Structure 1
Amino acid sequence: MRLNTVPELFESTVARRGGEPALIDAESTLGYAELNTRINRLARRLIAHGVGPDTLVAIAMPKCNDLIVAIMAVLKAGGAYLPLDPGYPAERLAFMLSDAGPVLLLRSSSVASLGAGLPELVLDDPALRTACAALPGHDVAQHERRAELRPEHLMYVIHTSGSTGRPKGVAVPHGGVRDMAATQAAVLRAGPGDRVLQWASISFDAAFWDVALALLSGAALVMVPAEDLLPGRPLWNTLLKYGITHAVLPPVALSETDAGDVLVGGTVMSTGDSCTPTLVRKWSPQRRMFNGYGPTEVTVGATIGGPVRDAGDTGIGTPWIGNEVHVLDERLRPVPPGTEGELYIAGSGLARGYLNRFPATAAKFVADPFGPPGSRMYRTGDRGRREPDGELFFTGRADGQVKLRGFRVELGEIETRLAAHPAVQVAVAVVRGELADAHVVGYVTTMAPVEPGELRAHVAGSLPAHMVPTRVTVLDRFPTLANGKIDREALPEPAAPAAVRPDGIREFGSREAGGCAAVVCAIVEDVLGIPEARVTDNFFRLGGHSVQATRLAVRIRERFEVRLPIRAVLEAATIGELAASVESRLRG
């Protein structure tokens, strides 16, 4: 019997590994049989709410075991999940809900209702738990679903950055999961006794890779809060504490985290951005290291290379089982080995396309001249080459899309949001820095006076934090090329952020504040590379991101010799509040 959907593959694992641990978090461990029972009961409740094949269910929850139960229950009911990161701006979440049209929202009590008149279930509500416990716990049969679940039915919709200023929902069916799981088994070889880290945010398809790598193989999936996954010491502690054997991490996390004593004898996979020779030298000894590649428009990925040992030019490997990667010229002709062309992906892992965006789908999912009649291939916009031995290499982008600390970002979406401010005439966004230091900076010309901080706040109202420019510089005019286009290479270094209160009152910075506050301000200035930080400034509004927050916590611990949790940095409204937290720990 061919197992072609996530429920079928998972139930096959449960039948073989029912007594093995399946989900591990700080509070508990769930075995496969117990996890399957909980999933089946919630799935039956979802079916009663109208969930079935090709219907969407939104999920908004922090990382916890219930999140995995929710995802798997939606899939067992025959539905598809729409992941919503509770940390995203309300405007973006509202757009994703209206764009996708889910029939139901699943959330935890820690996440506020998203409104929009959408029916919802609060999964940690005692009344719901009691109701689910009364339902049968055996596997959901096809006849119980609203229609038979087939491989072509929708599995998830994940929104990705859009060049027009609106995110696009990528609709991915079950059809590619069988080959994805087969590739994981053949290459990464996770299984009973192994522990897989669930690192990626639910909003990204890499999270589904983590889930499948564990739960479709018989390994245990380890769930920890997001603050315990921050690159650096928090991530290192988690890898060590839980004895992680398999982890898929972006280069930014690998660059910031010590490789000593973790994942020894295990498997690490770099994905989401270019894997550098430095990272290979750091992580390949004492462990199997792989490099993966693939856009959101396929079932998580398309190629995998390794084990990587040579610290030279790291390739992206060869296609997954059931998939093909073509390197073509502008007339869709294969280029000779070693010659650069555009990468096109074909095979079982292709998405249906962009949800409710038929012109965009037609432009990117084109007829495959190398496959059977009616087959398609995805035009990635990535440039690459294939060497004579078959190894593929990524060489860059053909458009304005970039990878930023592992996130896929369309600079055009940021530019569109900046330009939507009534004072802005023209806006340009670029990326500065590498790996953990990579950040977006914005440049604008204006028709009326406006503060850079106001423009950052305008963008932050609708875009996730990693897409908000750390600096916005107001120019009199843009530098141009001979053809009149903006010369992005000639843009000046970004202006430092203004640190002035709205009422114009000057506040103490590192040079004027006293004691602990002065030292903390100075450390913030050094971490962010800015000329001045004041006690009333917010670390993140100065341009800080999660990786830099980890660095800040480490620097403060070293300077003051106190135990300062990363949460203290994340929750501090101002640098002064953070300094007060340090002082309280110094006192005892």
Structure 2
Amino acid sequence: MGRQNVSHSVAEEALSESPWAEEPPMTAVRCEGASLPDTFRAVARRRPDAPAVQDTGGALTYGQLDAASDRIAAGLRARGVSRGALVGVLIDRTPDTPVALLGVLKAGCAYVPLDPSYPRARLRQVSEDCALTVVLGDPRTAEDCGLGALDVVERDACAAHGGEAPHGGVPHGGVPHGEVPHVEIAADDPAYVIHTSGSTGRPKGCLVSHGNVLALMRHTLPLFACGPEDRWTLFHSASFDFSVWELWGALLTGGTAVCVPADTAREPEEFLDLLERERVTVLSQVPSAFRALSRMAAARETRLALRYVVFGGERLDVDVAAEFVRHTAPRPPVMVNMYGITEATVHSTVKFLTAADLADEGGASIGRPLPHVEISLRDDELRPVPDGETGEILIAGAGVALGYLNRPDLTAERFPTLDTDTGPRRFYRTGDLARRTESGELEYLGRNDRQVKVRGFRIELGEIEAALRAHPAVRDAAVITGASREGQALIACVVHRDPDPGRPARAELRSHLATRLPTHMVPRRFVFVGELPLTPSGKLDRRALDVRTGAGGDPRP
């Protein structure tokens, strides 16, 4: 099979190209024990007084976080919640959420994140899919989310701040301090269930184990030379698995997770202020959300402590990364492009962008597989494709999740066991397309199900979007499809630098594209929007664009 399956360390190459190469890399991450709680406890014993999680109200030390989450675990066990149960957690952007997540794990359970910003129908579907009976969170919020019929356990305020029980009594759940149950947790036990959208409209829950997360951290964190002095943003919703990388990346290296309030996350200027004020060193971002932050950095002088900006979740166009680097010189952060998927535990490949990469136009390479990952590119018949040809990304290795909750048929379909040079291996079929370049890196080419056909031509929408962003008057752009009298038509949704661009701007953009793309790839309609809508996890919300433009509704001229 030759180079079809690649799994090797990229640490030496990546760190040698980094402007932080003079700093000694970590040779190992101490993932002691088989579970996340065991590993966390080892860090907490070494650094009890160091800040673990911080927000605008102050910080929880490792010792306080350990004690507070112990009380959550004890409270759950006292209510009869047994090992292996799924427990819902109503999430917010405060230290309460890390306390609750860790407490659920210490009880031997798996957490199910429930984001109150999601529609009630979606939360109800998730709750029913997981057969939830217990939810940690505010009862009023649970009622507002349509979850009031469940057993809602209010997270004790004293637990979130490492203090004593109210009035010196017993913490919530009826368990005195010190009576913390010890639960044996195996590496294959589920740690969380994150739901992703399904083609049938029914969300599917992905079961990810403690061993999956520990493998990611053990093999990936040494590439970044992260340590106790690093401060990571906790920017993403726990319903989005980027949050797993952010939280455990901080806690397993003895660093600090800095909670980013939801309102701040939506305001680029406030977010930039937070990065500067809190001396954040590791920032993780979806490219759609990062564009606005990059523009704000270009508009004002900043003094950032950033060491790394880690991209994931979407294709990265290098122009946005290059712009940020230019405006944070002379000591800019290292820009890192990572590819991954929930079913393979957050990240599967890495590319540390060099100056040459940033000077290139178009999309960034997604690099090479992480050390614990094997990637094979295969055709529709699941046969390996030659180097240079396009194939579907299949992922094997320690990051591949347990499967889908209560969906054995779908699990069997998406997690096939295939023959390799080293024997049968279990893979995850991503539905993403890539090709392996002469350098051995992977070039991401989009989805095998996002390709559209207009007038008989197969079109990748990302190519049109990149051409639009190349116009100096375009701040951002997305292309969708909609109905027309002739059938499916392309619609360009453009964030223009002129707040009232008008008809001449449409003609100018059409001419601009006509010089770069074939006629069949020039959108029929141009719709100007103030900003592109994003989902709660920071990705482009194409469904909202469909509603805004009328795509899929009545045909338009």
Normalised by the length of structure 1, the TM-score is 0.68
Partner of 1:121: 153
In the TM superposition, what whole-angstrom CA distance separates every residue of 1:174-231 from its partner, at most 9, and x where no partner exists? 1212221123421223221221001111211111111011111100000131011125
CA distance in 2: counterparts of 1:72 and 1:34, whole angstroms: 12
CA distance in 2: counterparts of 1:41 and 1:127, whole angstroms: 7
Partner of 2:399: 349
Partner of 1:280: 321
**Residue 272 (structure 2) pairs with residue 236 (structure 1):** yes
Q: In the superposition, relative to structure 1, how do residues 361 and 231 fare at CA in structure 2: closer, same or farther (>3 Å)?
A: farther
Alignment counterpart, residue 379 of structure 1, candidates 429, 436, 440: 429
Q: In the superposition, relative to structure 1, how do residues 491 and 316 fare at CA in structure 2: closer, same or farther (>3 Å)?
A: closer
Partner of 2:136: 106
**Residue 291 (structure 2) pairs with residue 291 (structure 1):** no
Partner of 1:306: 352
CA distance in 2: counterparts of 1:317 and 1:127, whole angstroms: 42
Name structure 2 gaps, 5 residues minimum: 1-30, 453-460, 470-474, 507-528, 536-557
Partner of 2:65: 35
* Cα deviation, residue 13, structure 1: 1.1
Q: In the superposition, relative to structure 1, how do residues 372 and 149 fare at CA in structure 2: closer, same or farther (>3 Å)?
A: farther
The 3-state SS of whatever aligns with 2:389 is: coil
Partner of 2:23: none
Q: What letter is aligned with 1:266?
A: R
Partner of 2:213: 177
Q: In the superposition, relative to structure 1, how do residues 89 and 300 fare at CA in structure 2: closer, same or farther (>3 Å)?
A: same
Q: Where do 1:13-52 residues align within 5 Å?
A: 13-52=43-82
* Cα deviation, residue 51, structure 1: 2.9
Name structure 1 gaps, 5 residues minimum: 403-429, 445-474, 480-487, 495-522, 532-541, 549-588
Partner of 2:246: 210
Q: In the superposition, relative to structure 1, how do residues 47 and 384 fare at CA in structure 2: closer, same or farther (>3 Å)?
A: same
Q: Is the 8 A contact 2:142 2:152 kept in 1?
A: no
Partner of 1:77: 107
Normalised by the length of structure 2, the TM-score is 0.71
The 3-state SS of whatever aligns with 2:344 is: coil
In the TM superposition, what whole-angstrom CA distance separates every residue of 1:454-503 from its partner, at most 9, and x where no partner exists? xxxxxxxxxxxxxxxxxxxxx6x551xxxxxxxx3x35679xxxxxxxxx
**Residue 284 (structure 2) pairs with residue 248 (structure 1):** yes
* Cα deviation, residue 544, structure 1: 6.2
CA distance in 1: counterparts of 2:422 and 2:79, whole angstroms: 40
* Cα deviation, residue 385, structure 1: 1.5
Q: Is the 8 A contact 2:72 2:159 kept in 1?
A: no
Q: Is the 8 A contact 2:34 2:185 kept in 1?
A: no
Q: In the superposition, relative to structure 1, how do residues 314 and 530 fare at CA in structure 2: closer, same or farther (>3 Å)?
A: closer
The 3-state SS of whatever aligns with 2:237 is: coil
Count matched residues.
440
The 3-state SS of whatever aligns with 1:390 is: coil
Q: What letter is aligned with 2:141?
A: V
In the TM superposition, what whole-angstrom CA distance separates every residue of 1:270-322 from its partner, at most 9, and x where no partner exists? 11111112123123452111111111111112111114432225211222232
CA distance in 2: counterparts of 1:140 and 1:317, whole angstroms: 44
CA distance in 2: counterparts of 1:43 and 1:395, whole angstroms: 44
The one of the two structures with greater contact order (alpha-carbon pairs below 8 A, sep at least 6) is 2
The 3-state SS of whatever aligns with 1:316 is: coil
Alignment counterpart, residue 84 of structure 2, candidates 43, 49, 54: 54
Q: What letter is aligned with 1:81?
A: Y
RMSD: 3.4
* Cα deviation, residue 110, structure 1: 5.9
Q: Is the 8 A contact 1:236 1:262 kept in 2?
A: no
Q: What letter is aligned with 1:170?
A: C
In the TM superposition, what whole-angstrom CA distance separates every residue of 1:528-587 from its partner, at most 9, and x where no partner exists? x999xxxxxxxxxx9966679xxxxxxxxxxxxxxxxxxxxxxxxxxxxxxxxxxxxxxx
Alignment counterpart, residue 221 of structure 1, candidates 257, 265, 284: 257
The 3-state SS of whatever aligns with 1:132 is: coil
Q: What letter is aligned with 2:58?
A: S
CA distance in 2: counterparts of 1:194 and 1:36, whole angstroms: 20
Q: Is the 8 A contact 2:282 2:306 kept in 1?
A: no
Q: In the superposition, relative to structure 1, how do residues 308 and 264 fare at CA in structure 2: closer, same or farther (>3 Å)?
A: farther
Q: In the superposition, relative to structure 1, how do residues 526 and 228 fare at CA in structure 2: closer, same or farther (>3 Å)?
A: farther
Q: What letter is aligned with 2:186?
A: R
* Cα deviation, residue 2, structure 1: 5.0
CA distance in 2: counterparts of 1:45 and 1:174, whole angstroms: 22
